[in-house]
Structure 1
Amino acid sequence: MTTSPRLMARRWVMRTPDPALLAALRTEGQSGPAAITPLLARLLVNRGIDTPEKAAAFLMPSLRTGLRSPLLFPDMHKATERILRARAQGEPVYIYGDYDVDGVTGSSQLLLFLRELGMDPGLYIPHRTREGYGLNEQAMRIIAERGAKVIITADCGATAHREITLAQSLGVDVIICDHHHVPEQRPPAYAVLNPMEKDCAFSFTGLSGAGVVFYLLMGLRMRLREQGGPIPDLRRYLDLVTLGTVADLVPLVEENRVLVTHGLKEIDRSLRIGLRALKDVSGKAEVSSSYIGFRLGPRLNAGGRLAEAQKAVELLTTTDEARANELAADLDGENRERQGIEEKILNQAVAMVEAWPDLADRRSIVLASEEWHAGVIGIVASRLVERFYRPTFMIAIDGLKGKGSGRSPKPFHLYDGIKECADLLDGYGGHRQAAGLSIQTERIPALAERFETVARARLSGDDLVPEMTVDDELDLALVDARTIDQVRQLEPYGQGNPEPIFMARGVQVAAVRVVGAKPLMGNPGHLKMALRSSRGGRPLDAIGFGMGHLPLAIGARVDVLYTPEMNVWNGQASLQLRLRDLRSE
């Protein structure tokens, strides 16, 4: 049974850009090769793109001019020097990556690049349920026993003081590539590459772990050029950094926009055997950030959630087509298994929350169970936030210990919030809207109480009402293929650059039917409609995903929020409105 969505009122917030900024942007655009229309100017200014220079960089992302220097990382010279010294002296190097897509793609970049340099690096990715996130002491000992002299991390290590100290005592230098928050005490590594560090001159803090690794490769390439040796082509790594960047939900602005824009083209070309096999099992579709987020990313993540993440690394680095097809099929099967487990846990979690008599007054959700799989609780936490719009932690209990994964709505900074509970935890880490923790089982009730106190101090009642940010009011009579062309100039969409949303008032329902409903499974289906402008004219096709439960009749008048798009079916493209929300008059 799939739990049906709760109806939740949303607050519609119209953006109000400065008219002077709009005028300046349009004037500049009209003199260039491509005119910036009033609509495009508004969309740009709404996203902080408020000067001609910013607009040019945003609309035409350039690998040559759009990436900061890797030397802005204070330890870049030390990191590249140590790696190339290991190469020259034949010292064994190990890569230690996280088990999510960001860590997997960062590890894959390092493996492939070091192999291009004639090195044979080892790989260690911890098991999610047995070892948990980040470096651990047993792993440090195992890697040292295997003879490693250098460890390079991918998407982890920022808080691993004890483990790095142990590695040093065992004669292993650790180079950290991470993007998570750094504690007050800097990790005692040989070199630290992390844009979140206080003294880091690399001013863009939104890189993914895979993005930090890519900058290490840029630094190595600069050193190799100075030495006059062969220089690997970094364009071949853009598909990997794009997968990690999109899947980790970091802001798709500045460097990330440049990398992802060009990386999507590399993914579309499908030159990597493993990626081609992954696309085959994921279903053919236009390559976009959504395609990564909903198709490729979950399958790459499936191995690390339920089994071994090394499988995903092998897929992305293999040159054997038969092996790639086998690995892709395995990950596809594990993803389907993950979906079943996720649905079961979600149903249990929703029932637990809705049984609370004081739910309306609660500011947070902390749930725990011995029945839950630690590999999928983060996804379930995200779905609970979508449903209840409260900061949420899901904790999988294993005997005396629990591992938790949290997600949060925009108004609440999850990392800062959980930091106020640090004395109750064995460990924690994360970002504004996602975090993880480990805890003694007996302390979970105290955590729930403390976290509720923290959330209550930081969240008002209004904060519990989700907002839908609207770019502009645009009557349906004005929507055509040119509108979509302007909107698509903002792609790729993601955090920090959301899909444009428009509002239309007094729209008439010209036709309506429910499709895809599965009542016995709690699935309300989708609204398939034809909507006519309040000005009249021909109706436009519209689809409201998950809105099949809404009672609408032909002739009804509604206000709608929508995103215009081209719907491709059987090779035919037609204009369609994807509904984001609606209100009856």
Structure 2
Amino acid sequence: MSEVYEHCCKIGFDPLVSSFIDSIDFINNIDDLKSFLNKNKKELHSPFLLSDIDKALGRIKKAFEKNEKVVIFGDFDSDGVSATCIMYWGLRKAKKGFIPEVFFPNRLSEGHGLQKEHIDRFKQDDISLIITVDCGMGDKEAITLAQSIDIDVIVVDHHMADEEMDYAFAVVNPRHNGYPFPFLAGAGVSYKLVQALHSSLFGENSLEHKDVSENLLDYLVIGTIGDLVSMTGENRILVSQGLLHMNQSKFPFLKDFWQYKILKKQLNEVFNEEHISFYMAPRINAASRLEDAKHAFNFLTAVHPKKLIECGDYIEGLNENRRERLFALEKSDKLEVFEFENIPLVLVNTHSNELGLLGLLASRFNDIHEKSAIVLGSKNDETFTASCRGDGNLHFFEILTSLNDLLTKYGGHKAAAGFSLKVEDFDELIKRLKQIKYIKPSVETKFVQKIDIEIDASKISEGILDQILSLGPFGEGFRKPLLKITNSKVAYSKQIGKDGSTLSFSFRGQNNVSIRGIAFGFGDKVEEIKKSESLIGYLGYNYFYKKEMQLRLVDFELT
């Protein structure tokens, strides 16, 4: 047995959980184990290690001194909106009476990024400093124009760029200048800059620095989990601290609205990763998918109770509308699907103008086909807008860079990206994609996660579950362990939901305790699951009526 396994058993972990911890690829020795378990903020890196940080801080301080008009230009997704909230409060708290302007491009009519039309507008409004958050990398034309007419641009971003960014006043990006952890979300970079600003103005041990470092974690958690960045290193520490802080948040959107909407406080339920990924992030994103990201920003920064309720109820309504429209798009008979023999990719032309839903539909096709997916739509007969989603085996950013002569605009990450294309170039796009030579990764990312813990149903207890949950936060790069539960005797099962596509069931655990089960998309397996020998899924708690264990099923094995 390894020293990691033996140490885990020694400090009280069940042997099955100890074995899982020992299998984690970034835990190689006792020091790694202690770092993993402690999630100590002392291991966070100094924000002053970020690229151009001193230059950016100097320019912001100059704007304070001269009372310049500053605009925060944020991306419209959950990470971008969260990053904007962090920068907004960070600047306001840095100088009394200073209120920056906030601007989000329209997802549907403008798309991602800073454009020359925005610069013209900001010039008319006497803006002299633009701070982009979660966007800006590669927006050369707009930034060059801004700099040429005395509007400085500080890019605060985490995306990759295919060229040097020497045309911006400053570029604060963890992927530049050898920052020790390059996987921060946009909200994380914004948070780090605000920390550096308050440290330089008031001192690292000041109340001002402590205030923003603690309170702005609430937004960082939403942006980091919502953007699906690696849940390792700094992100793991920051999100762990942030989830704890969210339960005593000072922000009205949490303490006066979402705590009551989401949590069963009487059962001592607390915020976790799934509350963000399945509830908060979709509602923030719904604002820009259907209308304007400013709706989400207004809710997240609301102070007065009446405005909070109005904004909160509004984005709730938008999210419900989004779900209905996505269902209709997914079932549309106009979808045109292309598959490729040379690469694990499916491309879908929706023949729809629902541009705000393309990313969601791409994720659906990514799951269904177990291949990377590109989904296109168009508002007119001239330009396609496309969203790309995958598992990382196909490097979307590299592929789009190789096609840059064909695209009017592109950007993104390895596993998620977007681009624009002239309609007349669609056939050429298909041709070029068919010519791509796919090199299979040495370590392939699997759509179906491997089984991490195999356990007899009679051994399942809240004690085991609590040990598993204590290892979080879970996310990209460190997934929640997948359990195979053997000798599981399903006591009952029934179809639930509007269309009967969801399966509700129960089985017995340790001391004959009943364990609930939920299986989305398994509604037609009511009788089959009763004959199952093993259940495969993710174990957690359900707080609907009372606190009880629940398995989210992803598969089962018949006798």
Q: TM-score, normalised by structure 2?
A: 0.90
Q: Secondary structure at the match of 1:426?
A: strand
Q: Does 1:407 align with 2:389?
A: yes
Counterpart of 2:178 (choices 198, 201, 207) is 201
Structure 1 residues 527-560: Cα deviation after superposition (integer angstroms, max 9, x where no partner): 4142689xx9787554433222226458735233
Q: Does 1:216 align with 2:202?
A: no
Counterpart of 1:178 (choices 157, 162, 166) is 157
2:494 aligned partner: 514
1:528 aligned partner: 505
Structure 1 residues 252-304: Cα deviation after superposition (integer angstroms, max 9, x where no partner): 11111111112112322242113345516844354111111111111111111
Counterpart of 2:406 (choices 421, 424, 428) is 424
2:27 aligned partner: 49
Q: How does 1:344-355 map to 2 (within 5 A)?
A: 344-348=328-332, 352-353=336-337
User: Match for 1:54: what amino acid?
Assistant: D
Task: Say if 1:96 and 1:107, in contact at 8 Å, map to a contact too.
Answer: yes
Unmatched 5+ stretches in structure 1: 1-18
Q: 1:89 to 1:419 in 2, by over 3 A?
A: same
Q: Secondary structure at the match of 1:457?
A: coil
Structure 1 residues 31-78: Cα deviation after superposition (integer angstroms, max 9, x where no partner): 7xx434433332223332232222222222223x03101111131111
Task: Say if 1:363 and 1:452, in contact at 8 Å, map to a contact too.
Answer: no
Counterpart of 2:290 (choices 306, 318, 322) is 306
Q: 1:210 to 1:76 in 2, by over 3 A?
A: same
Cα displacement (A) at 1:361:
9.0
User: Match for 1:68: what amino acid?
Assistant: H
Cα displacement (A) at 1:86:
1.3
Counterpart of 1:110 (choices 87, 92, 98) is 87
1:11 aligned partner: none
Q: Secondary structure at the match of 1:467?
A: coil
Q: Does 1:494 align with 2:468?
A: no
Q: 1:463 to 1:256 in 2, by over 3 A?
A: closer
Q: How does 1:197-346 map to 2 (within 5 A)?
A: 197=176, 200-226=177-203, 231-232=208-209, 233=211, 234-279=213-258, 282-284=261-263, 286-346=270-330
Cα displacement (A) at 1:121:
1.1
2:541 aligned partner: 566
Task: Say if 2:51 and 2:173, in contact at 8 Å, map to a contact too.
Answer: no
Q: Secondary structure at the match of 1:158?
A: coil
Q: How does 1:424-503 map to 2 (within 5 A)?
A: 424-454=406-436, 457-458=438-439, 466-503=447-484
User: Match for 1:94: what amino acid?
Assistant: V
Q: Secondary structure at the match of 1:315?
A: helix
Task: Say if 2:80 and 2:186, in contact at 8 Å, map to a contact too.
Answer: yes
Q: Secondary structure at the match of 1:503?
A: strand
> For 1:333 and 1:549, how far apart are their aligned partners in 2?
30
1:368 aligned partner: 349
> For 1:465 and 1:575, how far apart are their aligned partners in 2?
27
> For 2:509 and 2:40, how far apart are their aligned partners in 1?
41
Cα displacement (A) at 1:30:
6.3
Structure 1 residues 318-338: Cα deviation after superposition (integer angstroms, max 9, x where no partner): 221111110111111111111
Task: Say if 2:153 and 2:170, in contact at 8 Å, map to a contact too.
Answer: yes
> For 2:556 and 2:502, how far apart are their aligned partners in 1?
16
Q: 1:584 to 1:452 in 2, by over 3 A?
A: farther
> For 1:349 and 1:224, how far apart are their aligned partners in 2?
59
Task: Say if 1:26 and 1:37, in contact at 8 Å, map to a contact too.
Answer: no
Q: CA RMSD in A?
A: 2.8
Q: TM-score, normalised by structure 1?
A: 0.86
Counterpart of 2:40 (choices 62, 76, 79) is 62
> For 2:103 and 2:549, how far apart are their aligned partners in 1?
48
2:267 aligned partner: none
> For 2:317 and 2:497, how far apart are their aligned partners in 1?
25
Task: Say if 1:389 and 1:464, in contact at 8 Å, map to a contact too.
Answer: no
Q: Which has the higher contact order (CA 8 A, sep 6+)?
A: 1
2:554 aligned partner: 580
Unmatched 5+ stretches in structure 2: 265-269
> For 1:125 and 1:527, how far apart are their aligned partners in 2?
41
User: Match for 1:378: what amino acid?
Assistant: G
Counterpart of 1:146 (choices 125, 129, 138) is 125
> For 1:564 and 1:418, how far apart are their aligned partners in 2?
38
User: Match for 1:128: what amino acid?
Assistant: R
Q: Secondary structure at the match of 2:135?
A: coil
Task: Say if 1:26 and 1:36, in contact at 8 Å, map to a contact too.
Answer: no
> For 2:215 and 2:204, how far apart are their aligned partners in 1?
22
2:524 aligned partner: 549
> For 1:227 and 1:555, how far apart are their aligned partners in 2?
59
Task: Say if 1:106 and 1:240, in contact at 8 Å, map to a contact too.
Answer: yes
Q: Secondary structure at the match of 1:544?
A: strand
1:391 aligned partner: 372
Cα displacement (A) at 1:472:
2.6
Cα displacement (A) at 1:487:
0.5
